[in-house]
C-alpha cells in the first residue's frame, strides 16, 4: 500500500521510542488508551507506523515547557508513515495529519516537521502551478534572464492614482515585475478595483507604446468569493498576475483561486516566521512549499541573501532550490515553481542568487536598490540588469562595471554585504 512519510525533529522527557509511538497513535488510530476495536489487524491497515528513530542529542532542560518532565530530555529525528488510504490526496486533510494535534502532545517538549515524502498520487491528482517559469515568460512575450522586480512602497497609504504614478515611474525605468505589498489589498483608502484599473491603464499604455509587457502582481487576498470577483476584474483590464498571501487564505483558498484563475498566481508567504522562526516548534519551508505548489502557486517567496530577517543564507539557498525540485521522489508531474528573492536585495546578491539555482528562472525583487540609486530608478534597474548579465557571464561586478555607468555608481553606493557560501 502507498504511504506518506514525514520526518520530525522532536524532543521528549519520556524517551524517543515511547514519544514516537504516542505521536503515531495520536495522528492515526490511537487515543490516550487502547481501544477494544483497535485490533492488531486494524492498526496494520490504518495505523501510522514509526519507520525510523535517530537520536541526535540529550539535555537536562527542555527547549519548550511541557507538563511532563524528566531527568533527561532526548532529541532526535523520527520518521512516521501513514497509508494513503487514510486520507487520499486532499491537501487540507494531509496538513491535519502531518501537523495536527501532535504539536500539543504533553510527551513532547519540542517538535518541528522537517520533511515529507509523498506518493506520486498527490502530484497526479492536485493541479500544481498552471504556468511556472516558462508560462511567466510567455505572459511577458518571451522575456530573457531573471525578472527584475520591485514592491510598491510605502506599503500602504497611497491612493490608487498615487500608486499608478509610482508604477509609471517604474515601468518607464524598465522594470519587469511590480507587486503590491502584502498589506495592501482592498482597504477603503485604496480600493482594489480602482487601484487595479489605474495601474493597468499605465502598464497597458506602456505595452502599447513599447511592446514590453510588465507584470503587476495585484494582491487579491480576501474571502474566496471576493478573490473570484477580483480575478474577474483582472480579466477585464488584461492583468496577468494575482498575488495571494498563501498563509492567510490557506490551502483551500489557494486551490480555489487556482481552479478559477487564467493568470499567474504569485504566492507570498506573509506570516511565515510564525511557522519557521523557532528551531524547536514549527514546520520547515521544504514541507509547506510542496503543499503550496500542489495547490497551484506559480511563484513563491523564499526570502533573500543577506536579508533583513532572521533566516540564514543557507536556509534561503535551500528554500530557493526546493521550489525548483520535483514534488515527489516517486514520479508524477514535477510541478516546478519560480522562486522570488526579496528583502534588502541589491546588485551584490544577484550573482550568488543565480549561482544557487544555476539558472535565470527567478524573480529578483529590489526596493531601495532601485529607488535609492543615486541616478534614479531607471539607473537602478539598469544596474541590476547589468549585474544579471555579469552573473550570467561569470564576471565579477567590479570587473564588469565600466566607469560612469549605473552599475559602477551602484557599486559605490550600496555596501557589499557578507554572504555565506559557497552553497552546496
- pLDDT tens-digit map of 191-225: 999 999 999 999 999 999 999 999 999 999 999 99
3-state helix vs strand vs coil in the chain, percent to 5: 40, 20, 40
Its domain, for residue 261, covers: 132-413
The last residue of one of the domains, among 66, 92, 117, is 117
> Considering only CA atoms, which of 362, 312, 356 is closest in space to residue 339?
362
How far, in Å, CA of 211 to CA of 140, rounded?
10
Would you give the DSSP letter of residue 272? T
Give the contacts of 334 (CB within 8 A, at least 6 positions apart).
123, 325, 326, 327
CATH number at residue 107: 3.30.70.150
Q: Please check whether residues 302 and 369 belong to one and the same domain.
A: yes
Domain assignment present for residue 337? The answer is: yes
Q: Please check whether residues 80 and 170 belong to one and the same domain.
A: no
Do 215 and 136 meet the contact criterion of CB atoms below 8 Å apart? yes
Q: Please check whether residues 89 and 138 belong to one and the same domain.
A: no
Element (H, E) at 378: helix 377-393
How far, in Å, CA of 256 to CA of 424, rounded?
37
Q: Please check whether residues 111 and 185 belong to one and the same domain.
A: no
Q: Please check whether residues 213 and 137 belong to one and the same domain.
A: yes
Element (H, E) at 404: none
Domain assignment present for residue 164? The answer is: yes
Q: Please check whether residues 110 and 169 belong to one and the same domain.
A: no
Q: Please check whether residues 169 and 88 belong to one and the same domain.
A: no
Q: Please check whether residues 180 and 313 belong to one and the same domain.
A: yes
Give the three cell numbers for residue 91: 491537501
Flag residues of the chain having pLDDT under 50: 32-33
The pLDDT score that the predictor gives to residue 32 is 45
- pLDDT tens-digit map of 168-199: 999 999 999 999 999 999 999 999 999 999 99
The last residue of one of the domains, among 90, 117, 144, is 117
Q: Please check whether residues 69 and 138 belong to one and the same domain.
A: no
Sign, CA torsion 311/156/292/150:
negative
Strands 177-179 and 215-219, how do they pair? parallel
Q: Please check whether residues 180 and 309 belong to one and the same domain.
A: yes
CATH number at residue 380: 3.20.20.110
Domain assignment present for residue 122? The answer is: no
Q: Please check whether residues 111 and 209 belong to one and the same domain.
A: no
Strands (E), 84-193: 110-117, 147-151, 177-179
Domain assignment present for residue 227? The answer is: yes
Whole-structure pTM over 0.85, yes or no?
A: yes
The pLDDT score that the predictor gives to residue 69 is 81
Domain assignment present for residue 167? The answer is: yes
Q: Please check whether residues 315 and 212 belong to one and the same domain.
A: yes
Domain assignment present for residue 297? The answer is: yes
The last residue of one of the domains, among 91, 117, 143, is 117
Within 10 angstroms of residue 224's Cβ, the number of other Cβ atoms is 15
What's the structural domain count of the chain? 2
Domain assignment present for residue 123? The answer is: no
How far, in Å, CA of 223 to CA of 118, rounded?
29
Domain assignment present for residue 152? The answer is: yes
Give the three cell numbers for residue 69: 518532565
Amino acid at each position: 500500500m502507498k504511504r506518506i512519510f514525514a520526518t520530525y525533529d522532536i524532543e521528549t522527557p519520556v524517551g524517543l521510542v515511547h514519544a514516537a509511538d504516542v505521536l503515531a497513535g495520536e495522528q492515526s488510530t490511537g487515543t490516550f488508551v487502547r481501544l477494544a476495536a483497535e485490533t492488531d489487524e486494524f492498526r496494520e491497515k490504518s495505523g501510522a507506523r514509526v519507520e525510523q528513530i535517530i537520536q541526535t542529542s540529550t539535555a537536562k532542560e527542555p527547549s519548550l515547557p511541557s507538563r511532563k518532565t524528566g531527568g533527561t530530555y532526548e532529541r532526535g529525528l523520527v520518521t512516521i508513515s501513514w497509508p494513503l488510504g487514510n486520507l487520499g490526496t486532499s491537501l487540507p486533510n494531509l496538513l491535519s495529519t502531518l501537523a495536527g494535534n501532535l504539536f500539543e502532545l504533553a510527551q513532547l517538549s519540542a517538535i518541528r516537521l522537517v520533511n515529507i515524502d509523498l506518493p506520486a498520487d498527490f502530484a497526479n491528482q492536485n493541479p500544481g502551478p498552471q504556468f511556472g517559469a516558462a508560462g511567466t515568460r510567455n505572459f511577458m512575450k518571451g522575456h530573457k534572464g531573471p525578472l527584475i522586480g520591485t514592491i510598491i512602497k510605502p506599503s500602504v497609504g497611497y491612493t490608487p492614482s498615487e500608486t499608478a504614478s509610482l508604477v509609471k515611474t517604474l515601468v518607464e525605468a524598465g522594470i519587469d515585475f511590480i507587486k503590491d505589498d502584502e498589506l495592501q489589498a482592498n482597504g477603503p483608502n485604496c480600493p482594489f478595483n480602482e487601484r487595479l484599473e489605474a495601474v493597468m491603464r499605465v502598464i497597458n499604455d506602456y505595452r502599447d507604446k513599447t511592446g514590453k509587457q510588465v507584470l503587476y502582481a495585484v494582491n487579491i487576498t480576501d474571502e474566496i468569493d471576493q478573490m473570484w470577483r477580483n480575478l474577474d476584474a483582472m480579466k477585464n483590464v488584461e492583468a496577468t498576475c494575482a498575488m495571494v498571501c498563501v498563509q492567510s487564505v490557506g490551502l483551500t483558498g489557494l486551490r480555489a483561486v487556482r481552479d478559477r484563475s487564467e493568470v499567474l498566481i504569485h504566492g507570498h508567504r506573509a506570516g511565515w516566521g510564525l511557522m519557521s522562526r523557532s528551531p524547536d516548534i514549527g514546520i520547515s519551508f521544504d514541507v509547506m512549499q510542496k503543499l503550496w505548489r500542489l495547490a497551484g502557486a506559480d511563484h513563491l517567496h523564499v526570502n533573500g541573501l543577506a536579508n533583513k530577517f532572521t533566516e540564514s543564507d543557507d536556509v534561503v539557498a535551500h528554500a530557493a532550490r526546493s521550489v525548483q525540485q520535483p514534488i515527489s521522489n516517486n514520479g508524477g508531474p514535477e510541478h516546478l515553481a519560480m522562486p522570488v528573492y526579496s528583502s534588502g536585495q541589491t546588485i551584490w546578491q544577484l550573482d550568488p542568487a543565480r549561482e544557487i539555482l544555476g539558472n535565470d528562472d527567478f524573480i529578483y525583487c529590489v526596493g531601495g536598490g532601485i529607488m535609492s540609486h543615486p541616478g534614479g530608478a531607471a539607473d537602478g534597474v539598469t544596474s541590476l540588469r547589468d549585474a544579471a548579465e555579469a552573473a550570467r557571464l561569470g564576471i565579477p561586478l567590479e570587473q564588469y562595471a565600466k566607469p560612469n555607468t549605473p552599475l559602477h555608481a551602484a557599486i559605490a553606493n550600496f555596501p557589499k554585504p557578507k554572504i555565506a557560501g559557497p552553497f552546496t
